[in-house]
Structure formats: C-alpha cells, structure tokens
Structure 1
Amino acid sequence: MLSGIRVISFTHFLQGPSASQLLADLGADVIKIEPRTGAFERTWTAPGWFLEGDHSPFFALGNRNVRSMVVDLKNPAAMAPLLDLIDSADVLIESFRPGTLDRLGLGWETVHARNPRLVYASLSGYGSDGPYVDRPGQDVLVQALSGIAMATGRADGPPQPAGACIVDQHAGVLGAFGILAALHGRERTGTGVKVESNLLNAALDLQIEPLTYALNGFTGARSASGISSPFYTAPYGVFATADGWICLSLTSPATLRQVFADAGFDDLAAGEAFDQREAVNGRIAAHVATRTTAEWADVFSAARMWWAPVNGHDEVIADPQVQHNDSFDQYEHPVAGNVRVLKHPVSYDGVRPGVRTAPPELGEHTRAVLHGLGYSEDDIEALHEAGAVRS
C-alpha cells in the first residue's frame, strides 16, 4: 500500500522503530540511519537475553522490512549524502532527544526548505518543548507520571505499572497514524507538515475513559481486594479458582443471581453494583475459589457471561484464536537460525503483511542506497575513506 514512499528513519529503542516498521510492513522503503557502532537495540535486550550469535530479539521486533545505512552524523563529509537522501524522501522520522537533529543541521526548518513535500515526524518522551523536554522519556517512567501506575493494584499496595511497554508501542502506532494522515493531506496540498507524537500524549490517550471521568469531577480509588476497577461496576477483574485464575467483566445482577444463587445477590440493584463492588467481588471470589477454571468456564459460557481465561505467554502463543488470526511470522538468520516475531497487527483484504526481508545487518544497504542516489563507486569509496559512511 505504501510502495513508492521513501522513509528516512533516525530512530532507536522502541517507539521510533515500531512506527517505522509499521510503514515498512505496508511497503514503504524505510532506510534506517545507524551510527558506526549500530543502533542501540542491536546490542540490548531488557532481560539481557540474546539468541544465538548475540542476535537481539529487541532488534528483531522492530526492524524487519527495513534497510540499514551507516552514517556518521557528526562527520561533515556525511552531510551531502544525507541531504541528497532527504531530498529523495517522502518522510523523515526521528526519535532523538528534542533539538538533536537541529544541532546536526537536519531540523524541520532546514529540511522543509529543501524538500517542502517532506513529512517530518518527531517522536519524543514529552514533546518538543516544555518543562520536561530534557527529562529521560521511557515507558515505565511515563506510566508513573501519567497516572497509569497509580490506578493499578490494591488500595494498600504500591502502584503497579502494566506488564508490557504499552506506552512506547502506542506512541509508535500514533506516530505512524500521524504520518499516514500527513501523507494523505500532502496529496491535496502538495506540502508536507511536521508531525509530533510523544510518550506522555500516548499514555494519556490510553486512559481516554478514566481521564474523561476525572476531568468531569469523578474520583475513583483502587480497591482493597485488587479485583475491582476504580471506575467499573462489579464484577470486573481476575478471580482465583481452585486451580488457577479466571477473569470476569460487567455482569448484570440478574445473571449474578442466576449463577451464584446462594451468594446473597437477591436484593442487589443495577445502580448499586458500583458502590458495593468490593462486597460483590468478595462474594463472587468466595464462590469461584471452590471450582476449577474449566468448570467455571462451562458455567459462565452457559450463562453467557463475559469471561476469559488468564493466560501466560505460552498459552497465548498456542491460543486457537491467536493462531487462527495468523499472528506470527518468522525469518532465517545466518547465525541465530529461525527467529519468530509478531506480524503486522492489521489485515488488508484478509491478509496480514509479514516479513519480506529480515532485519538488516549493520550497514547492509549503505552502498545500494548511495548508488540509488547517483553516487559512483569512487564517490562511495571517498566517503568511506573520510569515515562518513560504512558498509
């Protein structure tokens, strides 16, 4: 769908590479600009765990279908090929600290003057300016700052961040969304715009429901049991069974009376379920603990209740709906062997884009990109000798 669109990606870690990969999955020619030592995510994983040959799963998850070009951004000799590359591009996406590309002579004002059709996307922690512009922007920090962690956990326990980098990933999706909107607008106006996405905005957007309540005067509180939501009526949360866990959501008092006949729900009215949510969940918890997960699954399904198993990642990978949705792909790495990854999350005419090319080796496409810009072998060798590029 994006065939013919060229994207220059000055990105690292998760937010930027994720946004770039979404565009690459759709056919854009994404050229990842890396330093001589390689992108940060090539040599890092959160648990310090690598595949064979020190192949990083963290690099694998966000850099398929892209090309790698090594450029020393601080080398004056690199400026000419970089500007030539930007002149040929439709999109520039960057996730440096605000102001970094300006200091390198590649800021929005400079490149927009050269290439007015270019869409320029800046992805940051908190925005391009403001009181937090120099703070480190990282997922768990923003979960804490934005209120996500404070809304999660038991009332008498510590706030709890989510068990995944939800803010980074959502910010990447919003960045790609903004780029696509800007490209669509350019078709009408002929002019590119500056797009900005940041982790803080993404974290707020993830809380569109509770924050809208809060903005209009509602004050929620974490529950003592850890089951209840600060703003949802009971039942809403995870309950222990005799052999595991099961999740329930938004069940009417009439259905509760049917399923838990001796739990004391005869006088529970629909409007009282929120104020009494701790008591409601306590009664449900006492009953759910008496049977296995499989037994309750049959009971809840028969009553047409909203329920779900509480799966670990191994169970998620094997889940029949996940498998049916064609959620995973794989590629062959010369040292690591078969590497499995998640597919693009959206389908088009029933097809989810997959891996066309494996994540690139460092500088794998430097020469090809320069040749495509019209540079001769002698020109490329001169850039190598000057230390401006590497292949």
Structure 2
Amino acid sequence: MLNTTMAAKGRPREHCDVRPLRGIRVLAFTHYAAGPIAAQYLGSLGAEVIKIEAPAGDYQRSAIKDPTASPDSPSPYFLGMNRNQRSLCIDLKRLEAVAVMREMIAQTDVILENFRPGVLERMGLGSSALLAEHPGMIYCSIAAYDPAGPSGNKPGQDLIIQALSGIASLGGAAEGPPVPAGAYIVDTYTASQAVIGIQAALRQRDQTGLGQWVRVDMMSCAIHLLASESSYALNAQEQACRGRNGISHSHQPAPYGIYSTLDGAIALVADPASLPAIATALGLSDRIIPLLEGTGAWTKRDEIAGILSGRLRQLASDDALTRLAPTGILLAPVRSVDEALADPDVASDLVCEVEHSYGGRYRVALEPLKLSGSALVFDRPAPDLGEHSVEVLRETGIDQDRIDALIASGAIRVPAPAGLRVKS
C-alpha cells in the first residue's frame, strides 16, 4: 500500500491522470543501478514497467544494507531505485520461460536492459533479433563501454568508470591520491541519458512507425559529464592540475573551494576580484593582497588557499559564514546527506514516505523533474521478488493451468508466503 504522506515539513506530491508515457509498456531486464534508475524514471512518467528478475533477484535487493536491520529486510538501495515497477521472477535459462518471454515481448513497446553485452543475445533476445521481428520496438541497451569499441564486452562499474574517464583524477590534493565522487554519479547520469533516448525514439516512432536501438554507455556519459573539463583538455595548451591543498576545482583559481572549519567545512565560490574583500573579512589583507599582483590568483592559488585554510580552521562554520556574507560571494556550509534531506526546500517535494507490505515503512527520494501539465506518479513501492509474476502472466494471456505448470517447474517464481516475510 502506498502512503502519500511526505516526510517531515513536506507536503503531498500532487497526482494527475495525465501521464506522458501512459500506454507505453516496458520490459526492464535491469540490475545494479543504472538500469533500475532508468526503469524507475520511466515508471514515474507513467509507463507500465515490468522488472524481469532471475530467481536470485536483483543484486541490489541485498547489497549495501543498514547493518542494524534484519538480514531479510530489503536494501534501502533497492527500495530507492525500483519503485513504479512490477516484478516478474522468471528463469530464462529454461526454454519454457523464454517462450513466455517472447509472448510478452510481442506486447511490449520498450525493452530496457543493462546486462553485460551478449547475455540476452545468447537467449535470442538481443537487439538485432527482436528489432527484426518487431520493427516498431524501442530497444535500449545500457553498457559500461561503447559496444563498438575494443572494451565493448567488458563489465564496468561507477568507480571504475570514474577512474578511466578522468573524473577521479580531478579530486584530492596534488601530492595525494585522486579522490572520486562520493556518489554513483555516472550510474545516475547514464540512466538519465537512457530515458532521454527512449523518449526521443518513442517520439520518432510516432512520426515514422519504426522503432530503433538506443545505446548509452557509462564511459561516454562520464566524458559528457566532463563537458567543460574535456573541452579544456582538448583545446588548452597548458593542462590544469589539482592544487596541493585539494580543496578546489582543478580549473579554478583561488579562492574557489571547500575549506575545513573548527567544526565542519564551508564552500566558497568567488572570482579572484573578491579576494581583497575576503581577505579583509578574515583579517588576512596583509598576507593575501600582496599575492594578487598580475595572475597571482592562479599562479599562487595554493599559497592563497593555504592562508585561507589556516584561518578558517580557527573559526566555527557559522562564524566564518557570518564574516564572509557581506562580501557578496556564494558560500554555504558543507552538510551531511541527513542534513540536506531535512531542508524544507528538499523534503517538500522530493522525499516521500511509503508503507510497504514486505518492507515496513521507509522513505525515498523522488525524481527532480517537474511538469506543469502532469505530475510524476508514484503508484508502486519497490516490488517484492516475483510479487507480480502471476498477474503479469495473466495479462499476457497465459491461462492458469500453464501458470501453475511454470511455477511447479521453477520457470516462474512467486513470493514466499506472507508468514515468512519481514515484519515492520
């Protein structure tokens, strides 16, 4: 059961009968992160999304769990990436299961998959075979690397892609190890690109009647995340590098960066012209202003950042922010994720509380997109493994005797009896 009560200080997200992707059926062969996030977004836009899971279930069902939670409780990661989907648990290693899947595919608009290249092809469910059989279908593949490149068949993961793309090389101090982003930014951005591609392909199908193969890979998406930095690398003679203090963007002069304080950290965004005012506010004019001659904000950025850093470590965050506010620069405290989620600007629209039949009560962050003519929907919490197997097969036109036989053979799985599920 869905509870539309929002988190503290929030308000209910409005539901609307106008759904941009109403009538679009998606079969999501997805696991880990990028695929489920894309499938979830399509569901939030109104598509009917069926998550196809192997008997073992999506890896994320049990990964990265609260260590204090019950061993059988669902992972918050899974709960946050798989709403607005129904789960069909099917063993595609069985011929009778593949036959069922082909019947479902004949009634499907979009195939979304992020398996390793070749997995679905070996089952006869690859893009070439299905597009030849169903020319109006949209087939979206998410991979780690461009399938046409030398690494096309290799597996990948967010951290690996951050390392290979250069994203990780931009964080941290020059003399220390590179520091990657602390969130799965490549997965999420790749998912967004997949959703954009699917919607564009659907629009083209409206015009031509023909579907197409939509391809998106994490490596290409990571390079696109570096749109500014890669352009600099391609066109500048002298390449930027990380500062010794590790507090700034590799391409930014002082004072841009994050600085430790007595009780936390603060972020400063300002151009070099603001440095005299910053120096005055912190009582550092005699030390910083002599360094600003010519291109000093660039060439002596480490020295300037070091002076600022030493002073700010002596001040509490609130004190530092109060002193710097009159300068007019952009500044903010560095908050924890918990603190950010408690912000009314966030919780009012983005955090929703859910009551789930197998997972108790939990809260999730919703998609950020807002449409004036149609609200994003939240019809379903993340599903139990195989929760909708029977109803999905019935909708496909498979009779009950055949369903019973599929269950008996192990080709189709249904949830454990209610008495064996996690209690809230």
CA contact (8 A) 1:64 1:355 kept: yes
Q: What is the identity, as a one-letter code, of the residue corresponding to 1:314?
A: D
Determine if the alignment matches structure 1 residue 219 to structure 2 residue 242: no
The one of 260, 281, 305 aligned to 1:281: 305
Distance 2:122 2:168 in 1: 35
Query: Which sits farther off after the overlay, 221-230 or 115-124?
Result: 221-230
2:392 partner SS: helix
Partner of 1:245: 265
2:170 partner SS: coil
CA contact (8 A) 1:241 1:290 kept: yes
Partner of 2:288: 264
Cα gap change, 1:47 to 1:360, in 2 (>3 Å): closer
Q: What is the identity, as a one-letter code, of the residue corresponding to 2:239?
A: T
CA contact (8 A) 1:51 1:57 kept: no
Cα gap change, 1:334 to 1:366, in 2 (>3 Å): closer
What is the identity percentage for the equivalent residue pairs of Structure 1 and Structure 2?
37
Cα gap change, 1:10 to 1:352, in 2 (>3 Å): same
2:257 partner SS: strand
Partner of 1:389: 412
CA contact (8 A) 1:331 1:355 kept: no
Determine if the alignment matches structure 1 residue 155 to structure 2 residue 178: no
The one of 188, 197, 202 aligned to 1:183: 202
Determine if the alignment matches structure 1 residue 86 to structure 2 residue 110: no
Determine if the alignment matches structure 1 residue 3 to structure 2 residue 26: no
Greater RCO between the two (CA within 8 Å, min separation 6)?
A: 2
Partner of 1:318: 342
Distance 2:211 2:148 in 1: 21
Cα gap change, 1:212 to 1:90, in 2 (>3 Å): same
| Mapping for residues 102-117 of structure 1, pairs under 5 Å | 102-117=121-136
CA contact (8 A) 1:228 1:277 kept: no
Gaps of 5+ in 1: none
Question: What is the CA distance between 1:284 and its match in structure 2?
Answer: 2.3
Partner of 2:255: 235
Partner of 1:132: 151
Distance 1:22 1:10 in 2: 15
Question: How many equivalent pairs are there?
Answer: 389
1:225 partner SS: coil
CA contact (8 A) 1:153 1:159 kept: yes
Partner of 1:376: 399
Cα gap change, 1:383 to 1:334, in 2 (>3 Å): closer
**CA deviation map 1:125-158 (0-9, x unaligned):** 1122432234321111111111111121111111
Distance 1:4 1:100 in 2: 28
The one of 94, 106, 120 aligned to 1:75: 94
CA contact (8 A) 1:5 1:28 kept: yes
Question: What is the CA distance between 1:86 and its match in structure 2?
Answer: 0.9
Question: What is the CA distance between 1:176 and its match in structure 2?
Answer: 1.2
Determine if the alignment matches structure 1 residue 57 to structure 2 residue 68: no
| TM-score with structure 2 setting the length | 0.86
Question: What is the CA distance between 1:52 and its match in structure 2?
Answer: 7.2
Distance 1:319 1:10 in 2: 35
CA contact (8 A) 1:51 1:336 kept: no
Question: What is the CA distance between 1:250 and its match in structure 2?
Answer: 2.4
Question: What is the CA distance between 1:349 and its match in structure 2?
Answer: 2.1
Determine if the alignment matches structure 1 residue 37 to structure 2 residue 61: no
Question: What is the CA distance between 1:352 and its match in structure 2?
Answer: 5.9
Partner of 1:357: 380
1:150 partner SS: helix
Query: Which sits farther off after the overlay, 175-184 or 127-136?
Result: 127-136
Q: What is the identity, as a one-letter code, of the residue corresponding to 1:62?
A: M
**CA deviation map 1:17-52 (0-9, x unaligned):** 011001011111000111122222222227767567
Partner of 2:16: none
| RMSD (CA atoms) | 2.1
Distance 2:92 2:195 in 1: 24
CA contact (8 A) 1:257 1:266 kept: no
Determine if the alignment matches structure 1 residue 196 to structure 2 residue 215: yes
The one of 142, 152, 160 aligned to 2:161: 142
CA contact (8 A) 1:52 1:336 kept: no
2:403 partner SS: helix
The one of 187, 205, 229 aligned to 1:210: 229
Distance 1:235 1:180 in 2: 42
**CA deviation map 1:147-189 (0-9, x unaligned):** 1111211111111111111111111111111111111111111
